Chain A
């Protein structure tokens, strides 16, 4: 049987069991009543002890949302979501505040362990005195703000960050402790009225991370958050807000995996980034939500709005994403290049297998003078999946000297999958230089056989070739994540070949 045929056969057999991270954790939870209404919104706000202005903000978003309809332009296909059939809030039963990882529910820690996310290890490596000679002392520190279901249950390294003046905390806490910052920035990049899912998120967001880096500060460690959905029928509405004040720098890593599910789960996160003059935010994501079983049943619906506002001159925002999970991905991390000489980057690896549908890309909106953007997208489609890159690059009339470079490569494994490239380019002034390159290729039998002849298994060969294909993007990830990402890429293509 030719390898491609085998690939196709294998993909057919992908099953829930193969989803390594599919398991549940039994923890008591605290749920909002099913369905969405003003009462739900009030319930959430109350649970979080929110000030009145926050509730008002949510309610306005909710009322707005009632007037909106789901967008249909993306190349994704799914049964209609019954928004009244979901729970909008679920939290592990609140316990006393946690000052160390030891106080976290052992069930939760076990979950992370199974995920291969070494929360405990991180704490051991970084938080507690290491045993001599046990580790590489140069390893950079990672602060973990672990989000379990909808509530942050552990926040580490707060002290060190505090010393630097960096605020890194659950957004629910920031709303209470830093209302002036939250009020100033929340919704300033993604307005409550932005799009159906973002508006929904604004009404019911449960928690997420808040980061503020003061002027001139280089954040002393990578900030990392791990997300996880763990309640049946619970929509997860993450809200993240990161502000880099003048001349500051922060690198933020987001990673997520989800347990297996029979029902589809809605995930509609909003991430807002703001950089002031000379500031830089590097935002990296490794996404591995449950993709659904071999019949295309189940899996996470991931409708995400991520946007960065390069508000200041010479500021920079860089998005790097490795997308391997979700039944449906609808995601366009974008940059608004408002400040003069500001720059935006988008590096993406999107892998789809089985019946996954990915519609992802970016928007680079050039408003300031001499702004530049760079897009490197690598799409890999296997099985019966559909993988679409959708990118928008625009230059405003005043954005003189705007530059963009886009390279968009797709790799097909097997012949039942599809890769699509949909670029929109608009330059409203003649001094803009936009370059666009796109390629689509099929994984070559000859290349695979070459590797196999030299001793690799078919699976190893695919892994090697794919990792070579995505190398340019993988290199953009912080070291800590590059290895995990490489692992994920191989895992997500497991079973895509015989």
Chain B
């Protein structure tokens, strides 16, 4: 079943069109990779799906589980299962990571009409997940991402993903800034979340990540459109020949 359907999406930022009619369908259980040169609109797409303000959708549609996603407030989308691991996770000084995780998780649960987690249940869950991601408990006492290394920030994103159990995970360059070991740990974390009901959209510049998170489908984006889609071998092809061949197609 289609989890996410982006149809002919046109998006403007400050009077400039960035996405020029983008179409993408992601089914439950699938892993999609989106590759494409800098500035081709990959982050823009992820932001529009997540509902970041400042983007004007001039045409097209986004359906999530058959519902009109663009009609939903961003926190509603989150509660419905849309998760975006940011390319640049922000720092929130003075707000302990643990507090943040708990506030966010309970906000989502409340929005879904579920009961809040009890403290012991919550702590148990966080401990399990953070352990599997090699995140020390001490880190969770610090302000959200404050003073975290690049790799730690990315792992913190995966931690939240694991905790919130979303049905659509969009990972925007989760591999950037990660050393090889950290990459493997984060990728393992992502793979552990792979399930028949959950889909992943992995945005990356490097085929290396796709050795760890193996995609079912690879899309090439250029100048605000998906210009080619194919199997995982497409990523290898790109690695060998670059994006130049698609520039004209766009």
Query: Which A residues contact B (CB, under 8 angstroms)?
Result: 1-3, 444-447, 449-458, 460, 464-465, 467-472
Task: Determine the distance from Cα of A292 to Cα of B125 in the docked complex, in whole angstroms.
Answer: 46
Q: Per a CB cutoff under 8 Å, which of B74, B83, B94, B95 touches A452?
A: B74
Question: Is B86 among interface residues, defined by CB-CB distance under 8 A?
Answer: yes
Task: Determine the distance from Cα of A454 to Cα of B166 in the docked complex, in whole angstroms.
Answer: 10
Task: Determine the distance from Cα of A418 to Cα of B108 in the docked complex, in whole angstroms.
Answer: 34
Task: Determine the distance from Cα of A452 to Cα of B86 in the docked complex, in whole angstroms.
Answer: 13
CB-nearest residue of chain A relative to B94?
Answer: A468
Q: How many residues of B contact A (CB 8 A)?
A: 31
Residues in B whose Cβ lies below 8 Å from that of A470: 94
CB-nearest residue of chain B relative to A456?
Answer: B107
Q: Per a CB cutoff under 8 Å, which of A1, A449, A460 touches B52?
A: A449
Residues in A whose Cβ lies below 8 Å from that of B164: 454-455
* A-contact 0/1 string along B44-78, CB 8 Å cutoff: 00000011111000000000000000000111001
Residues in A whose Cβ lies below 8 Å from that of B2: none
Residues in A whose Cβ lies below 8 Å from that of B91: 447
Determine whether the beta carbon of A3 is less than 8 Å from that of B104. no
Query: Which B residues contact A (CB, under 8 angstroms)?
Result: 50-54, 73-75, 78-79, 83-84, 86, 88-95, 100, 103-105, 107-108, 111, 143, 160, 164
List the 10 closest pairs (A to B, CB-CB), nearest first: A468-B94, A468-B95, A455-B108, A471-B94, A454-B104, A455-B107, A455-B78, A450-B90, A447-B90, A452-B74
Q: A1-B53, A455-B75, A455-B105 are in contact. Are A469 and B93 (CB under 8 A)?
A: yes
Residues in B whose Cβ lies below 8 Å from that of A460: 103, 107
Q: A455-B79, A468-B93 are in contact. Are A450 and B108 (CB under 8 A)?
A: no
Determine whether the beta carbon of B94 is less than 8 Å from that of A455. no
Residues in A whose Cβ lies below 8 Å from that of B50: 449, 453
Residues in B whose Cβ lies below 8 Å from that of A1: 53
Residues in A whose Cβ lies below 8 Å from that of B104: 451, 454-456
Task: Determine the distance from Cα of A444 to Cα of B92 in the docked complex, in whole angstroms.
Answer: 10
Q: A450-B89, A454-B160, A455-B75 are in contact. Are A468 and B143 (CB under 8 A)?
A: yes
Residues in B whose Cβ lies below 8 Å from that of A452: 51, 74-75, 78
Task: Determine the distance from Cα of A472 to Cα of B108 in the docked complex, in whole angstroms.
Answer: 28
CB-nearest residue of chain B relative to A460?
Answer: B107
Task: Determine the distance from Cα of A465 to Cα of B103 in the docked complex, in whole angstroms.
Answer: 12
Task: Determine the distance from Cα of A458 to Cα of B107 in the docked complex, in whole angstroms.
Answer: 12
Task: Determine the distance from Cα of A470 to Cα of B75 in the docked complex, in whole angstroms.
Answer: 25
Residues in B whose Cβ lies below 8 Å from that of A453: 50-52, 74-75, 78, 83-84, 86
Task: Determine the distance from Cα of A3 to Cα of B52 in the docked complex, in whole angstroms.
Answer: 10
Q: Per a CB cutoff under 8 Å, which of A450, A467, A468 touches B86?
A: A450
Task: Determine the distance from Cα of A467 to Cα of B100 in the docked complex, in whole angstroms.
Answer: 12
Determine whether the beta carbon of A457 is less than 8 Å from that of B75. yes
Task: Determine the distance from Cα of A451 to Cα of B144 in the docked complex, in whole angstroms.
Answer: 11
Residue among A449, A455, A458, A464 having the largest count of chain B Cβ atoms under 10 Å: A455
Q: A455-B78, A455-B105 are in contact. Are A468 and B92 (CB under 8 A)?
A: yes
CB-nearest residue of chain A relative to B111?
Answer: A455
List 20 A-B residue pairs with CB atoms under 8 Å apart, sorted by A's residue number. Answer: A1-B53, A3-B53, A445-B54, A446-B88, A447-B91, A450-B89, A451-B100, A453-B50, A453-B75, A453-B86, A454-B160, A455-B78, A455-B104, A455-B107, A456-B75, A456-B103, A457-B75, A467-B94, A468-B92, A468-B93
Determine whether the beta carbon of B54 is less than 8 Å from that of A464. no
CB-nearest residue of chain B relative to A471?
Answer: B94
Residues in A whose Cβ lies below 8 Å from that of B79: 455
Determine whether the beta carbon of B78 is less than 8 Å from that of A2. no
Give, as a whole number of angstroms, the nearest-CB distance from B56 to chain A. 11
Task: Determine the distance from Cα of A313 to Cα of B186 in the docked complex, in whole angstroms.
Answer: 58
Task: Determine the distance from Cα of A456 to Cα of B105 in the docked complex, in whole angstroms.
Answer: 9
Task: Determine the distance from Cα of A464 to Cα of B93 in the docked complex, in whole angstroms.
Answer: 10
Residues in A whose Cβ lies below 8 Å from that of B78: 452-455
Determine whether the beta carbon of B92 is less than 8 Å from that of A472. no
Q: A450-B90, A470-B94, A472-B94 are in contact. Are A2 and B75 (CB under 8 A)?
A: no
Task: Determine the distance from Cα of A472 to Cα of B104 in the docked complex, in whole angstroms.
Answer: 22
CB-nearest residue of chain A relative to B85?
Answer: A453
Residues in A whose Cβ lies below 8 Å from that of B89: 450
Task: Determine the distance from Cα of A445 to Cα of B111 in the docked complex, in whole angstroms.
Answer: 22
Q: Per a CB cutoff under 8 Å, which of B84, B90, B100, B108 touches A446?
A: B90
Residues in B whose Cβ lies below 8 Å from that of A3: 53
Give, as a whole number of angstroms, the nearest-CB distance from B174 to chain A. 15
Task: Determine the distance from Cα of A458 to Cα of B93 in the docked complex, in whole angstroms.
Answer: 18
Residue among B53, B84, B86, B105 having the largest count of chain A Cβ atoms under 10 Å: B53
Task: Determine the distance from Cα of A374 to Cα of B107 in the docked complex, in whole angstroms.
Answer: 37
Task: Determine the distance from Cα of A1 to Cα of B75 in the docked complex, in whole angstroms.
Answer: 16
Q: Per a CB cutoff under 8 Å, which of B94, B100, B107 touches A457?
A: B107
Residues in B whose Cβ lies below 8 Å from that of A464: 92, 95, 100, 103
Residues in A whose Cβ lies below 8 Å from that of B94: 467-472
Residue among A451, A458, A460 having the largest count of chain B Cβ atoms under 10 Å: A451
Q: Per a CB cutoff under 8 Å, which of A2, A467, A472 touches B54?
A: A2
Determine whether the beta carbon of A445 is less than 8 Å from that of B107. no
Give, as a whole number of angstroms, the nearest-CB distance from A475 to chain B. 10
Residues in B whose Cβ lies below 8 Å from that of A468: 92-95, 143
Task: Determine the distance from Cα of A467 to Cα of B96 in the docked complex, in whole angstroms.
Answer: 11
Task: Determine the distance from Cα of A314 to Cα of B53 in the docked complex, in whole angstroms.
Answer: 54
CB-nearest residue of chain A relative to B143?
Answer: A468
